[in-house]
Chain A
């Protein structure tokens, strides 16, 4: 899963500023260092969400609690410094992340099993079971902090 240096065809995008691929350990370190993290859980998180639901991090369920658009507008105003996303429709999430990337100082991290180029940091492309393992590991490392 890790060490895939080219997760995304470089020619498919028009700029250099694609997301940095991170491992679970670095993602956990980012959460540890952030003052006010937020976890945004979408409707397609599948089994992975079970491992994230009881985390002691502020969580927002979209679209159940809040529309993603409203949330994206709210995030820079509320003083969050790290926002993590999981289980949101790929193209819709990319649109939202573009806004956060260009018009806010918030750092974005996607925990999906696929590379999301518009985030600041993203997991690489993974198989479904690989992704589940990564989320389990993410949870385990967070608990051990």
Chain B
């Protein structure tokens, strides 16, 4: 999977707009879109539909993250139609999407640093494995208890 993605915990988000403001400050255009006040981030799809549909190959992979080449982009908005979560949009004849700040000189994404509620998290496959492990153990426990009830 992708090296890292930004995930949001909507229950922690106070809808303060800090991430959007910081994103606009860093990139000129806020690359985060909001739905019911909560920011929506690009999922950095491994098999990115926006990249596949682009007629001029303006979206390329940098460290497994799809990044828009501003020079190549013709602003046709095909990527907007293809994106399943509506995280890419066209403004000023160029497509904009979250790139985890890979196209600017930053160590970590600006939004994650700006979030005062700790609602945004940078995660990678190592985390996912650690999250899944206790769930698997729980399943084994439930199954073994269920079998005990049936058999004895």
Residue numbers of A with Cβ under 8 A of B are 1-4, 16-18, 20, 22-26, 29-30, 33-35, 81-82, 107, 120-121
Contacts and interface: CB of A to CB of B under 8 A. Distances in A.
A29 B117 CA distance: 24
Nearest to B133: A3
Contact of A33 (B107, B117, B127, B133): B107
A103 B135 CA distance: 42
Which 3 A-B pairs have CB atoms at the shortest separation, nearest pair first? A3-B130, A2-B130, A23-B126
Contacts of A33: 102, 106-108
Interface of B: 3-4, 63, 102, 105-108, 112-113, 116-118, 121-122, 124-127, 129-131, 133
Given A16-B116, A18-B118, 12 more contacts: A2-B129, A3-B129, A3-B130, A16-B118, A22-B122, A23-B124, A23-B126, A23-B127, A25-B124, A25-B126, A81-B107, A82-B107
Contacts of B113: 120
A2 B117 contact: no
Given A2-B126, A20-B121, A25-B125, A30 B108 contact: yes
Chain A contact surface mostly: loop
Contact of A29 (B3, B112, B133): B3
B107 A20 contact: no
21 contacts: A1-B130, A2-B127, A2-B129, A2-B130, A16-B116, A16-B117, A17-B116, A18-B118, A20-B118, A22-B122, A23-B127, A24-B126, A25-B125, A25-B126, A26-B4, A29-B63, A30-B108, A33-B102, A107-B107, A120-B113, A121-B108
Contact of B108 (A1, A23, A24, A107): A107
